[in-house]
Amino acid sequence: MSSTDRRAERLEALAAEIGLAVRSQRASTGTVYITAEHPRADARITVRVADHADAYATADYSADGVEGSDAGARAALLALRGTTPRALRRLRAWRRARAQRKASRAREAWIAGWIAQTGCSRSEAERECPVR
């Protein structure tokens, strides 16, 4: 996998994470065009990810190291959604905390069920629990 593909995948993942509809097209030169649309507003942006300069100027933002950067492409995607890097960090922290709470509830339910089934002590059930 080329560095251009990895960079494009990271930008696509960011766009999907913040709730944008994402499509991508790959050109024969290795350039990746990512089109992101706002789900409710009539707004769209095309980000070009490449390792060479843009000859046709068809993209709204070009992350090629010559005219723009990956950080600029991230900022353009966040602006399309109307969010900030700080809000994105808070969203990620909230999702991590939610996943941890879910795992904790699953662990507690498994332990309670194991104790009810086997009649063992809580410490024994905690050692046996596959959910961490």
Mapped to the 3 state alphabet, what secondary structure does the chain carry? CCHHHHHHHHHHHHHHHCCCEEEEEECCCCCEEEEEECCCCCCEEEEEECCCCCCCCCCCEEECCCCCCHHHHHHHHHHHHCCCHHHHHHHHHHHHHHHHHHHHHHHHHHHHHHHHHHCCCHHHHHHHCCCC
Entry pTM: 0.71
Q: Is the pLDDT of residue 39 over 90?
A: no
**pLDDT single digits (tens) 48-100:** 998 887 777 778 887 777 778 888 899 999 998 888 999 999 999 999 999 99
Rounded mean pLDDT, 96-114? 95
* Residue 105: per-residue pLDDT: 95
Residues 126, 111 contacting (CB under 8 angstroms): yes
Higher pLDDT, 120 or 55: 120
The pLDDT assigned to 90 comes to 94
